[in-house]
Amino acid sequence: MTDLSGLRAVVTGGAAGIGLATARALTAQGAAVVVLDIEPAGVPRPLLGLKADVSDDASVRAAVEAAATALGGIDILVNNAGIGAIGTVEDNPDEQWHRVLDVNVLGMVRTTRAALPHLRRSAHAAVVNTCSIAATAGLPQRALYSASKGAVLSLTLAMAADHVREGIRVNCVNPGTADTPWVGRLLDAADDPEAERAALNARQPMGRLVTADEVAAAIVYLASPAAASVTGTALAVDGGMQGLRLRPAAQS
């Protein structure tokens, strides 16, 4: 049911982490995939990597048109490119607020509106946004990042309503902490990377980080004909972090 043969997909931020895992998983299910990324150089074949900065409208429009030409159309758009920010509401300067919201929220707006004319021509159109557990749970030191992902969650619902009658489904995935280059950079910057990794593992009821492949599998499902009746949903891939309330192991 998740066979994607004949479908054409665009993945933003697809040169690393969750985006690359998603591009590979879509390809494995038979889709033709173009990756849009600010650093597309390392994108492995048969993926086609195109340079695009989701914070630059002209760059996005040109890259989406080039992708549509290369693929012969677009059926699936995965809005995955995103950047992080650490701090409380006191800590990030206005310029950083503008930058993170520009990439994480407006980036999805730009790619989606550029892709919509192509999606409208598809008999099987789906948009999947990479949101986050930060949209649904209060995490310390993530004020700006959480605000951006809260906006992604609401944007997903609004887009799903706006385009349902055009046959375009819109959903999002909410990963918990996922083992990607991004989290690798965070661990490298920590005073005690081992202790930081242990703390991140312990925060998830399954006791380990989510893998990029696990998030990719959820994105493939939401993008596939198997999810033909699924729109306006947020699928958590978080090791139980959002939904479960466990007692300490010794008392359970």
Ligand X SMILES: NC(=O)c1ccc[n+]([C@@H]2O[C@H](COP(=O)([O-])OP(=O)(O)OC[C@H]3O[C@@H](n4cnc5c(N)ncnc54)[C@H](O)[C@@H]3O)[C@@H](O)[C@H]2O)c1
Report residue 168 as tokens.
Answer: 């375009």
End-to-end CA distance of the chain: 38
Among residues 30, 44, 117, 181, the one that binds ligand X under rule CB under 6 A: 181
Q: Return the number of the residue (27 or 121) whose C-beta is nearest ligand X.
A: 27
Question: Half-sphere exposure (CA, 13 Å, Cβ side) for 152?
Answer: 36
- Contact between 175 and ligand X by CB under 6 A: the answer reads yes
Q: Return the number of the residue (52 or 67) whose C-beta is nearest ligand X.
A: 52
Nearest approach, Cβ of 143 to ligand X (angstroms)? 15
Nearest approach, Cβ of 17 to ligand X (angstroms)? 2
Specify whether the CB–CB gap between 28 and 41 falls below 8 A: no
Angstrom distances, CA of residue 120 to CA of 67, 76, 153, 236, 251: 16, 11, 22, 28, 54
Does residue 181 have a cis peptide bond before it, meaning omega lies within 30 degrees of 0?
no
Which position among 29, 145, 175, 176 bears the catalytic label?
145
Among residues 29, 146, 180, 224, the one that binds ligand X under rule CB under 6 A: 180
Q: Return the number of the residue (183 or 227) whose C-beta is nearest ligand X.
A: 183
Among residues 183, 220, 222, 234, the one that binds ligand X under rule CB under 6 A: 183
- Contact between 213 and ligand X by CB under 6 A: the answer reads no
- Contact between 214 and ligand X by CB under 6 A: the answer reads no
Q: 212 phi and psi, to 5 degrees?
A: -60, -35
Alpha carbon distance 249, 252 (integer Å): 5
Extended beta strands in the chain, E state: 8-12, 32-37, 48-51, 76-79, 125-130, 168-175, 178-179, 210-211, 234-237
Q: Is 221 a catalytic residue?
A: no
Site string for ligand X, 15-34 (x = CB under 6 A): xxxxx---------------
- Contact between 204 and ligand X by CB under 6 A: the answer reads no
- Contact between 144 and ligand X by CB under 6 A: the answer reads no
Alpha carbon distance 39, 55 (integer Å): 14
Nearest approach, Cβ of 51 to ligand X (angstroms)? 9
Catalytic residues: 145
> Where does this chain bind ligand X (CB under 6 A)?
12-13, 15-19, 37-39, 52-55, 80-83, 103, 130, 132, 175, 177-178, 180-183
